[in-house]
Structure 1
Amino acid sequence: MQTAAARLFASLAVGVTVAGAGGFGWTAAAGLERRAAERVAAMARAAGADWLVMEVDGLRVTIAGVAPDEAGAEAARAAAAAAGRFARVVDLVAVAEPAPPPPDVALTLVIGEGGATLSGVAPTANTRLRLAEALPGVVADTAEDARADGASPPGWRMIEAAAVRAAEALAEGSVTLGAQSFSVAGRPRSAADRAEIEALAAGLAAEGATVSLDLADAAPGDAAPGRTAPPPVAASRAYRTTGAQDADAPGQRPPRDGALFAPTGPETAGPWLRARADADLVVLTGAAPDAATRDAVIAYAGARFGADRVHHGLTVSAAAGREGWRAAALAALNALAALDEGEAAAKMGVATLSGVTTKPDAARAAHRALADAETSGWRTASRVTVDLPARAARARLPLDLCAERLSAITAASPILFAPASAEIDGDSEPALDALAEVLGRCDGGEIVVEGHTDSQGSAGYNLALSQRRAEAVRTALATRGAPKAALTARGYGQERPIADNATEEGRAQNRRIAFAATPPEAVAKGDAAAGDEAP
């Protein structure tokens, strides 16, 4: 007979039901059953069996649930057998079917006169979004997503960035990228674009990727200066933002292609340099006057941009060049390093720069850096766009406003976890990305990542679960670039409900991740107090 002592026991993780004994002595019997159940629950949690559900009735224990694998099921059975002197263990544990492995990642961009098409399997939906933004000429996207957890294969972003560059450089053809592979086939727009694709491939091969190139010769006239209609996939990197202002001519946006900024090619007499940079890669193509100068330019680029970002296809020119080329090339690279992304060139006595920045001071610094080429008798020309919308989006946020925006994000898109676990659900990846972006703009102080639960289960377990979940969110944000030192994880368990725990709707609202701000002076005061308490 079920008595008052019979009720759901323990935590959200390990469910335990204790059935009381009827008649005289039920209180003592229920107490023994409860202690036995506590031992089983503790040993199950220690074995990692958070999924286990148990019912204790006298000297019989029933265990159930779905184990992630056979080893987990055996661990739970061993915990039940070792935790109490049960006359009978009823085993209803099932083992989950193994999840099918994700499909192999492989994307193909096909470039033609009508634009580009994307097909294959992408690591994540974000991959396809990035490619659509970087290549506005993509007119059809039939790709699928391999994973829901937002994880990309190691080195994928570098290969992805190289694929974008290669797609821009092709007049027609295809670019195929895999987890550790890169393949380009087709006709480049110019000899300079061919050299850039070869430089990208060489850089990826040096990083261990499998590379394949099948490039036809560029058609005569592809590199003619001043072309007015670049292929649909071109003109997509340096000037893709809207509402930007040009630092030299407010309200105007500089063209990517034109007589002054046309791609340089080996057909140019004498040494030449073209450098293209964005957040992922810096690609150098051209021909230096001698091997020593070539090595000096490559070394300088590595120092200014980071050697891991720089890929080059620089050769040595057999033709005599204009005096001062080395100084002009270094000035162009120095100017390019001040921008978020852009292109610089040094050829035939002219050093040029075009690009985008969110900082007016950086635009002025780039102009000054390029002017150093004039001391060697070279002419200079620069067009730099200050992207005002992007600047506003990156502005620092007061700490209280930062915490409000973080909480608003989690209110609209709650951070989800696996049941009774601190494992973050893959559907929360976009919310985590948005949170990390805001955290990068928080101005000083400390942000507390708060974990909260409903009132089901024991207070002690809920407190520990909320702490683990808060720490998991802190770690996930730090891996996305959020300043980990400015984040503190704190679990409150069921202590701070915001809704009625008597209803399912209220309990769902109480299971949450929230954010609170601690001003810099409070952080400093707390650190000082901690120092005073130290022995």
Structure 2
Amino acid sequence: MSRLPTVIATACFAVAGAAAWGTAHFGADWIETRSVQALDQVFAQEALDWVEVYPDGLILNVTGTAPSEAARFRAITVAGTVVGSGRIVDAMDVIDPESIAPPRFSLEILRNDMGISLIGLVPSDGGRAQLSEGLANLGADVPVTDMVEQTARDVPENWADAVDFALRSLRDLPRSKISVSKDRVEITAIADSAEQKATLEAAIARRAPAGIALAMSISAPRPVITPFTLRFTKDGDAVAFDACSADTDAARDQIVRAAAGVGFEGKADCVVGLGVPSASWADAVSLGITALDDLGGGTITFSDADVTLIAADTTPQSTFDRTIGQLESDLPDVFSLHSVLPPKPESSAAQAEVPEFVATRSPEGIVQMRGRLSDVAQEAAVLSFARAHFGSEDTYIATRQDPELPNGWPARVFAGLEALSHLNNGTLIVQPSTVEVRGDTGSRTARADMSRILSSKLGESADFSVAVIYDELLDPTANIPTPEECVARMNAVLEVKKITFEPGSADIDSSAVDQVEKLAAAFEDCDRIRVEIGGHTDSQGREEMNLNLSQQRADAVRSALVDRGVEPAALQAVGYGETQPIEDNGTEEGREANRRIAFRLIPNPVPAAALATEAAASAEAPDAGETADPSQEAAADE
């Protein structure tokens, strides 16, 4: 019995020890779990998602790869706010700084009526100075908000060109956003009109530097069309829009479908704008086009709600009456129809007595007027009106007086002259029954503009015709280099490295072949100009020999360019020998400079018809570069 208390005491101590161990073990696990959960939560709140926590008893190992030393220190600091710093073991790594990509240079420019805002990162070496200089060149006192940062890193190759291009473009874009990177410029802007939009797009695209990708989006509000005009003609199988206006894209498509149904092919330059007289515009136009086809031909003009249909003079009276009656009943109520069936043409003898007024405008801008006007006062009024549109220096009148002219003659002359002013060159013919304007223009909207002028000013019963040819070379908004720019870029190729020849011969040196290729590329978009290829030598050797050698070398360059696709009619080779030195022939450097090929613009452009003729002729001509007389090898150009 004496041992029983001892056993009981031992058992109690064992149970108490086990309970204490279990309590300590599970308590430590609970503390570890709660500590890790608390740290994970605070790291998530602080956006430190790269940190990981591993418990080791009461010790917490904080691991992960910090993006920077500052981020590592911040993670330790945040952990110390949750648990005691003595329990934290810093086992974090820091990313190698050399593996971090350098900051990317970029610039955002915002401009509106409130001013200009700049934000981005630019080189510390001249970056801010370039911005300051470019903004100063805007020529206006514009408030600038500068949020640009700088960094001392290597400047990308095209960065300065891209920024300079963006700042020069900013001058023309008062409402714009321009984004610049080392090899790309993105421009988003608002223009005041469709014409300004086209002009800006062409100008900006033309001055974009090489090596810089340009993304451009310029928007313009829809134009207000006054009067809202559409004119459709049908003469046999020839159908065309002289003018086309629509209020929506859907209305435009409906009008084009109606025209296609009567034989129209190609693209209709239909302007979508404001000012439509009725929501039923497209329905009315479609009905009118169909009626014109039923008549067999003629013209139909919509000027706001006034509709004028002039049938072909060959239309039978019964067909005319039936079709016009049907059209009058089908047109929406707001539209008013005026229809005309012209009488049969008179004999040629009677036609010879028809009075007329004729005005011509030459490609050089000279306007000459002849024909008939009623009196001296009318001559003075017409001359004054013409000078206001064409300039006083280039306008001439040689008319004769005829007091028997029909009523409304001055209005027809004034309307015709105003329409003629939309052409670069052309002819106006005014007769009692019709007004005819034809010529060339550099405006895609000229036909519609002229039709709108004539329909609004001649009256609903007037008959007129507009025959316009669009020439892209005359279009100032087209991205086509001027003749002067073409020649300048050719000579720029030679400034980098001139074309050299074998000593004393007209054979192009093999080292100059690349320059010939670059010259041929410089002729892109310049196929309608005429260029003189001038050959020049120094003063060594006999004068006649130098003259012949320079001509042969100019011929050789011409032949090389023709072989590479340049139009033969665009090139004229001329040898000048030693007669036009640009440096002193008394020095070796001067003689080297005088031995050259140079390009010069010939004023008259190449007629389109001459291109094919000249090309065919040149295909049979011998290569001038192969006809050099070996006996003429001279001391010149040694």
TM-score by length of 2: 0.26
Structure showing greater relative contact order (alpha-carbon pairs closer than 8 Å, 6 or more residues apart): 1
Structure number with the higher helix fraction is 2
TM-score by length of 1: 0.30
The structure whose Rg is larger is 2
